[in-house]
Amino acid sequence: MNWESVIGLEVHAELATQSKIFCGCSTAFGQEPNTQVCPVCAGMPGVLPRLNRTAVEYAVRVGLALNCTITRYSKFDRKNYFYPDLPKAYQVSQLYAPICRDGHLAVEVDGTTKIIGIREIHMEEDAGKLIHDAVSDNTLMDFSRCGVPLIEIVTQPDFHSAAEVRTFLMQLREILLYLGVCDCKMQEGSLRADINISVRPEGGELGVRTEMKNLNSFKAIGRAIEYETRRQIQLLESGKQVVQETRRWDDDAGVSYGMRSKESAPEYRYFPEPDLLPIYIDDQWLQSIVENLPEMAEAKRARYMRCWGISALEAATLTSHVYVAQLFEEVAALSRNPMEAAHLVAGEIMRLMNQTDTLPEDLAVDAKKLATLITLVSSAKINRNAYKEAVEAVFIDGVDPEEYIAQRGLRMVSDADAIAEAVAAVITEQRQAVADYRAGQHKALGFLIGQAMRKLQGKGNPALVRKAMLEALE
């Protein structure tokens, strides 16, 4: 029998707002535990939430990019459960009137376009983190993450393979990055996905589904889908049933195990959050969100080509990742030479990224340093070879470009006497080539210039060397 897997996703994205969703605390990652906490996010008795409008705007941005209907009267609900990382013992979320509904995203898999339905996007607050302290054998609580705004993007069960899921997630990630609403770092947990998965005979009735949690990388998601599909098929083929349950993926072991069955699923006792008014997004607010949408890849490509005459190919490369586009735009602005910046980022930088396996999100190269090099090469202070060498040193070691060029003596020789001396020496030494040139063999000129450059250790200003050589030959 041919089996088909049916997969839906719940993608959690932490919104990159400066402050938390219901208080003024910072959302910065990686600070000391419990340093970004106030009475509100710590759930002290008597506190009340106040909604961060930017979080709403970010959620709406995602809804617009995913072709959703924006809910004009959206509401919050409380999801009640006890867990030490949840100081109020309820999470403010949206069950009955989520902020966005009924969207879709077209993804390209193996050359065919697939439409993935988006059931809804809802807003909620993140919980804190539990840290196990091995020394004292205690579990410690860090509430700094409590109240960081999250959106949960729930897809329809429209996927049938790990490859489709992976492509969708990559594309979704690019959209979130371009929208500037999430930094999408799966390792830090700012982008997380749960998978609902079931199998059925191809085209048959939907099977019993399981939900998989704790997926911390694209690779883990792919592996978990393949594992779970296999597990369910094996169960069914051996005449057993799939149990509806939540499972936890252990990426190190490459296996998942059951966490809780449907029967033991928690009773969340959802009800409307009385401490917050409904969010009303009127035409004016919606309009301003639309107007402030960041420029997406397609628009960037068009602008690069239109305004700066950058080729279609280079523009596509530059916008393949938002961080690459950002780097390019910074270098272009700092160097005031967009064309040269485009050649540099689309060419040498992309080559170096591939060579060093650097992911776009890990791009740490200093745009200012690259801009300095562009200025140096375009004002003929260094030649192309020196430029390329210095770019690599900046990319890999983060060297200071000016210092590096000085130390390596890469600055071009434009001194007329030094050039004249080198040219004179070549003319004396290379009698045959000089004779050839004078006899009309103009290609000998290249050889002679090359010899002069050699005497200048490759640093001669090519234009000046050429000019001096021609004059000497006349």
Which residues on neighbouring strands pair with residue 249, listed in sequence order?
A: 256
* Unique residue bearing structure tokens 């609902």: 196
| Token reading at 113 | 């376009």
**Applying CB under 5 A, does 259 fall inside the site for Zn ion?**
no
For Zn ion, the binding residue among 7, 9, 15, 23 (CB under 5 A) is 23
**Applying CB under 5 A, does 41 fall inside the site for Zn ion?**
yes
- Alpha carbon separation from 44 to 40, 166, 268, 450 (Å, rounded): 6, 41, 21, 77
Dihedrals φ, ψ of 61, to 5°?
A: -55, -45
Q: Which stretch binds another protein (CB under 8 A): 85-93, 100-108, 280-288, 461-469?
A: 85-93
What's the start-to-end Cα distance of the chain, in Å?
Answer: 85
Question: Which one, 48 or 243, has the nearer CB to another protein?
Answer: 48
Give, as ranges, the residues between 134 and 173 that touch another protein (CB under 8 A): 141
| Edge-to-edge order in the sheet of strand 100-109 | 69-70, 100-109, 112-125, 149-155, 3-14, 191-201, 210-213, 245-250, 255-261
Smallest gap from residue 273 Cβ to another protein (A): 8
**Applying CB under 5 A, does 220 fall inside the site for Zn ion?**
no
CB atoms within 10 A of CB 408: 15
Smallest gap from residue 192 Cβ to Zn ion (A): 22
Number of H helices, E strands in the chain: 16, 16
Residue 364 near which of another protein, Zn ion, none (CB within 5-8 Å, type-dependent)? none
Question: Which one, 83 or 201, has the nearer CB to another protein?
Answer: 83
For another protein, how many residues bind (rule: CB under 8 A)? Answer: 28
Smallest gap from residue 207 Cβ to Zn ion (A): 44
DSSP designation for 326? H
Give, as ranges, the residues between 22 and 41 that touch another protein (CB under 8 A): 39
Q: Are 179 and 105 spatial neighbours (Cβ–Cβ below 8 Å)?
A: no
Smallest gap from residue 261 Cβ to another protein (A): 16
Find the farthest-apart pair of alpha carbons in the chain and give their distance in angstroms, rounded.
98
Give the Cα separation of 473 and 434 in Å (integer). Answer: 7
Query: Looking at the chain, how many residues does it have?
Result: 474
- Alpha carbon separation from 384 to 76, 147, 336, 374, 379 (Å, rounded): 59, 52, 19, 10, 11
Q: Which stretch binds Zn ion (CB under 5 A): 18-26, 304-312, 356-364, 385-393?
A: 18-26
Q: Are 421 and 460 spatial neighbours (Cβ–Cβ below 8 Å)?
A: no
Q: Which stretch binds another protein (CB under 8 A): 77-85, 157-165, 254-262, 458-466?
A: 77-85
Smallest gap from residue 146 Cβ to Zn ion (A): 7
Smallest gap from residue 79 Cβ to Zn ion (A): 19
Residue 269 near which of Zn ion, another protein, none (CB within 5-8 Å, type-dependent)? another protein
Question: Which one, 88 or 209, has the nearer CB to Zn ion?
Answer: 88
For another protein, the binding residue among 90, 159, 227, 395 (CB under 8 A) is 90
For another protein, the binding residue among 276, 339, 418, 445 (CB under 8 A) is 276
Give the Cα separation of 11 and 270 in Å (integer). Answer: 21
Question: Which one, 43 or 180, has the nearer CB to another protein?
Answer: 43
Smallest gap from residue 262 Cβ to another protein (A): 12
**Applying CB under 8 A, does 45 fall inside the site for another protein?**
yes
For another protein, the binding residue among 2, 32, 46, 292 (CB under 8 A) is 46
**Applying CB under 8 A, does 20 fall inside the site for another protein?**
no
| Per-residue binding letters, 190-209, with Zn ion (x by CB under 5 A) | --------------------
Q: Can you state the angle between helices 431-438 and 444-455, rounded to 10 degrees?
A: 140
For Zn ion, the binding residue among 26, 29, 33, 38 (CB under 5 A) is 38
Give the Cα separation of 383 and 401 in Å (integer). Answer: 14
* C-alpha 60, offset from chain centre: 20
**Applying CB under 8 A, does 282 fall inside the site for another protein?**
no
31: helix, strand or coil: coil
**Applying CB under 8 A, does 80 fall inside the site for another protein?**
yes
CB atoms within 10 A of CB 206: 10
For Zn ion, the binding residue among 25, 55, 172, 334 (CB under 5 A) is 25
DSSP designation for 128? -
Q: Quick one: 430 exposed, middle or buried, by C-beta within 10 A (0-12, 13-18, 19+)?
A: middle
Give the Cα separation of 245 and 310 in Å (integer). Answer: 53
| Per-residue binding letters, 236-275, with another protein (x by CB under 8 A) | -------------------------------x-xxx--xx
Site of interaction with another protein (CB under 8 A): 39, 42-51, 78, 80, 82, 84, 87-90, 141, 267, 269-271, 274-277
Site of interaction with Zn ion (CB under 5 A): 23, 25, 38, 40-41
